[in-house]
Amino acid sequence: MRTRSLTLAVALLCWIFASPSSKAEENPSSASASKPAPAPYDAKFMKRAIAIAQTANTVPGTDPFGAVVVKDGVIIGEGLSAMRANSDATAHGEVLAIRAANKKLGTPDLSGCVLYTSCEPCPLCVAAIAIARLDKVFYAATLKESAEAFSVLPPGGRFGVDVPKIIAEEHATIDTRQLPAQQEMAAEAVEVMKKWAIQRRDALLK
CA distance 101 to 94: 11
Catalytic: 26? no
Tell me the Ramachandran region of residue 119: left when phi exceeds 0, alpha when psi lies from -120 to 50, beta otherwise: beta
- The one catalytic residue in 25, 26, 78, 94 is 94
Tell me the Ramachandran region of residue 46: left when phi exceeds 0, alpha when psi lies from -120 to 50, beta otherwise: alpha
Strand partners, 115: 69, 137
CA distance 182 to 176: 11
Yes or no: say if 2 and 146 are a contact pair by the CB < 8 Å rule: no
Residues with catalytic roles: 94
